[in-house]
Amino acid sequence: MKTNISLVQQILQKDKGGKIVLLMLFFVVVFVAISNLLIPKDSFFYISTYTVTLLGKYLAFALLALALDLVWGFIGILSLGHGAFFALGGYSMGMYLMRQIGDRGVYGNAELPDFMVFMNLKELPWFWCGFDNFFFAAFMIAFVPALLAFIFGWLAFRSRVTGVYLSIITQALTYALMLAFFRNDMGFGGNNGLTDFKDILGFDLQSDGTRISLLVLSFLALLGGYIVSKYIINSRLGRVCIAIRDTESRVRFLGYKVEQYKLFIFVVSAILAGIAGALYVPQVGIINPSVFSPMFSIELVIWVAIGGRGTLYGAIIGAFIVNYASTYFTSALPEVWLYALGGLFVIVTLFLPKGAVGFIKKLNLKKYTEVSNASS
Amino acid sequence: MLLLEHDNTDNIGELKKGNRILYLDDVTVSFDGFKALNSLSLTIEYEELRCIIGANGAGKSTMMDVITGKTRPDTGNVVFGQAVDLLKMDEPAIAQIGIGRKFQKPTVFEGHSVFENLELAMKGDKRFFKTLFACMSGEQRDKIEEAMVLIGLKDFYKKEASILSHGQKQWLEIGMLLMQDPKVLLVDEPVAGMTPGEVEKTGQILTDLSKNHSVVVVEHDMEFIRSIAKKVTVLHEGSVLAEGSIKNIQENEKVRKVYLGE
Ligand SMILES: Nc1ncnc2c1ncn2[C@@H]1O[C@H](COP(=O)(O)OP(=O)(O)O)[C@@H](O)[C@H]1O
Ligand SMILES: [Mg+2]
């Protein structure tokens, strides 16, 4: 245990921004958990379960943004289809939650989920088998996104598709999956997706305790994802990745098989995205094909750009800023939100190419130079 | 795959002075009908220092592109050692078997420090699962230090390569070649942008290297070539115009006509 902690310390050494962001999130999570569970509902300090869920959702999104930053910020693959991996993780979790409903559905059918009864299916499609088991589902949450990333990446990277072309085909990938999942006969609930979940591992999804547990798990997943990503970035492999991002062809002439590096990072990123999706679904209570929509994947790129690409913690900040703003605006000024988001993106790309993180760093530098000027 | 690579290495044959290390046979490369290389044939021996000269557009860089796997020729053979068919290999495999290259336009990793550039170039197992857990040994660190001293960038070891001058980037790329420790070094215009003092030092390094490597240098600078070369090949419109000692070349009628413009 002690060696584990020192390993983590070593990984996060020199990463001041990362430590600050993670520590702040830790305190927020602890504070929210305590205020929700221990403080009476009529107190001013009570934090509603709605807020708990919202925070949990942001944390899942932050993990997704982190996954995207790993491929975009560190090996230069601008994926415009990362929502697909998130969605596949989410659907895997959703399928498990559907099986947990048992005979408590509207039709009271213990064998089949409601939407299948509605579609007159007689038996469970083969790909639903095994999802009764949590451990099987947990495995699939990582495995399905990883498999898709592996096959897609193997084909794309081997034929050396890069840059805009690669971005476009990632977009096509998620779009194709969205169309497929919209179809009722795919067996994933079509348009409506999977919803009406009751409990997870036998715990009531509506109870405060479960909500808080999911919140804490989301934080731990983000923390774990951050540490794994940071470990990768700090290793020599990480330095090869950055070299690939900056000058791909040169790396080949040093004897590195660029395709393998890209594939590795892409698969790791897809797994992180899948886990994020799996944490998102029980907290939000629904998963439907809209998560596959190209729009969602593009929005995700905007989070990372706004937070600051290539720093990992910037992606977390971006996910929080944009999603908080989104929650606020979509209730206050729904018509304005998309324009505001687009405008924000344009401003960031034009004036703050390194995002919020770059902006803060610049401010710090200014303060520092002013101080040193004053003292001299 | 592993087996194949093993086979390939076996096919290099004995590496000793006088044996051939690189062999281009009747290589033709055309871009939209224009023949950048036209039935080029060339042999480089082990532990040889060969200079290649030729006007701009003669096909010197294209020749290096073919050897390193960047460009596939239309026809011809490229053989490493006794029987390794380079045309069947991709860039990383060619690099791993022992062919290193310095590009005409110095290409270093701008986002990395001088030290990291050298680290990435360092000879070793470059498969991703090895680099993920790679630790640097003291010996490797010493080798990098040594290279940094040699290329005069010791004081810059923590500095990002992007801040280096053109000449320093040339040095860094030569340092990366040293770290790769290849059997053949292909060096494209190494002294562009260097001061006379630096040019001399570069010549010294390349001469030293040719004692246990084969070095192929492309250069324009006749002064530089005169200072290092033993054997010179003149390329003209994609094929060999003349080959011989620097003295022979300078006296050669054809060469004087097309290259020295007399
Ligand atoms: N990728 C390419 N596409 C089209 N033409 C090329 C390409 N690379 C080189 N060439 C042409 O091939 C000829 C040889 O170029 P190069 O090998 O760079 O010459 P050198 O290095 O001897 O100056 C030039 O005329 C150049 O324009
Ligand atoms: Mg050239």
In chain B, the domains with their CATH numbers are 20-258 (3.40.50.300)
Ligand 1 mean position, distance from CA B30 (Å): 9
pLDDT tens digit sequence for A173-195: 999 999 999 999 899 999 999 99
Write down the pLDDT at residue A370: 63
- B217's tokens: 């240098």
pLDDT tens digit sequence for B2-15: 444 455 666 777 77
Write down the pLDDT at residue A110: 86
| A1 has a pLDDT exceeding 70 | no
Interatomic CA distance for residues B205 and B190, integer angstroms: 11
Interatomic CA distance for residues A337 and A103, integer angstroms: 41
Write down the pLDDT at residue B142: 95
Shortest distance, CA A228 to any CA of chain B (angstroms): 11
Q: Tell me what the pLDDT averaged over chain A comes to.
A: 93
Interatomic CA distance for residues A298 and B4, integer angstroms: 43
Whether A235 contacts chain B with CB within 8 A: yes
pLDDT tens digit sequence for A263-307: 999 999 999 999 999 999 999 999 999 999 999 999 999 999 999
| A334 has a pLDDT exceeding 90 | no
Among the listed ranges A237-241, B71-75, B256-260, which one has the minimum average pLDDT value?
Answer: B256-260
Q: Is the CB of B94 under 6 A from ligand 1?
A: no
Interface test with A, best of B131, B169, B177 (most A CBs within 10 A): B131
Write down the pLDDT at residue B7: 56
pLDDT band at A373 (very low <50, low <70, confident <90, very high): low
Interatomic CA distance for residues B154 and B149, integer angstroms: 5
Contacts of B134 in chain A (CB under 8 A): 235-237
Residue A250: partners with Cβ closer than 8 Å, 6 or more residues away: A243, B103, B107, B108, B109
Write down the pLDDT at residue A361: 85
Write down the pLDDT at residue B38: 95
Torsion of CA B43, B45, B48, B49, to 10 degrees: 20
Tokens 């992606």 belong to which residue? Answer: A315
pLDDT tens digit sequence for B79-88: 999 889 999 9
Interface test with B, best of A245, A254, A260, A262 (most B CBs within 10 A): A254
pLDDT tens digit sequence for A106-126: 888 888 999 999 888 889 999
Ligand 1 mean position, distance from CA A325 (Å): 53
pLDDT band at A368 (very low <50, low <70, confident <90, very high): low
pLDDT band at A376 (very low <50, low <70, confident <90, very high): very low
Among the listed ranges A226-230, B30-34, B37-41, B203-207, which one has the minimum average pLDDT value?
Answer: B203-207
* Residue of chain A nearest B105, judged by CA positions: A250
Whole-prediction pTM: 0.93
Average pLDDT over residues A92-103: 95
Ligand 2 mean position, distance from CA A356 (Å): 43
pLDDT band at A235 (very low <50, low <70, confident <90, very high): very high
Report which of A151, A170, A157 is spatially closest to residue A75, judged by C-alpha positions. A157
Average pLDDT over residues B231-240: 93
Average pLDDT over residues B45-60: 91
DSSP string, B79-138: EETTTEEGGGS-HHHHHHHTEEEE-SS----TTSBHHHHHHHHSSS---HHHHHT----H
pLDDT band at A10 (very low <50, low <70, confident <90, very high): confident
Interatomic CA distance for residues B258 and B110, integer angstroms: 39
Interatomic CA distance for residues A319 and A54, integer angstroms: 13
DSSP structural state of residue B127 = -
Q: Do A237 and B111 touch (CB under 8 A)?
A: no
Which helix H or strand E contains B75, and what residues bound it?
Answer: strand B75-80
Q: Do A235 and B119 touch (CB under 8 A)?
A: no
DSSP structural state of residue B54 = -
In contact, B88 and B143? CB cutoff 8 Å: no
- A279's tokens: 């944490």
Percent of chain B with pLDDT over 70: 95
Interatomic CA distance for residues A292 and A286, integer angstroms: 14
For chain A, the structural domain boundaries read 2-375
Instruction: State how far Cα A363 lies from the chain centre.
Output: 29
Cα angle, residue A282 at apex, residues A333 and A39 outer, rounded to 5°: 75
Interatomic CA distance for residues A252 and B215, integer angstroms: 20
pLDDT band at B197 (very low <50, low <70, confident <90, very high): confident
Sign of CA dihedral B223, B224, B228, B232: negative
Write down the pLDDT at residue B3: 46
Write down the pLDDT at residue A284: 96
In contact, A46 and A39? CB cutoff 8 Å: yes
DSSP string, A44-79: TT---HHHHHHHHHHHHHHHHHHHHHHHHHHH----
Interatomic CA distance for residues B108 and A248, integer angstroms: 11
Q: Radius of gyration over alpha carbons of chain A, in Å?
A: 22
Instruction: State how far Cα A268 lies from the chain centre.
Output: 12
In contact, A239 and B119? CB cutoff 8 Å: yes
Ligand 2 mean position, distance from CA B104 (Å): 6
| A24 has a pLDDT exceeding 70 | yes
Q: Tell me what the pLDDT averaged over chain B comes to.
A: 89
Write down the pLDDT at residue B1: 43
CB atoms within 5 A of ion ligand 2 belong to B 60-61, 104
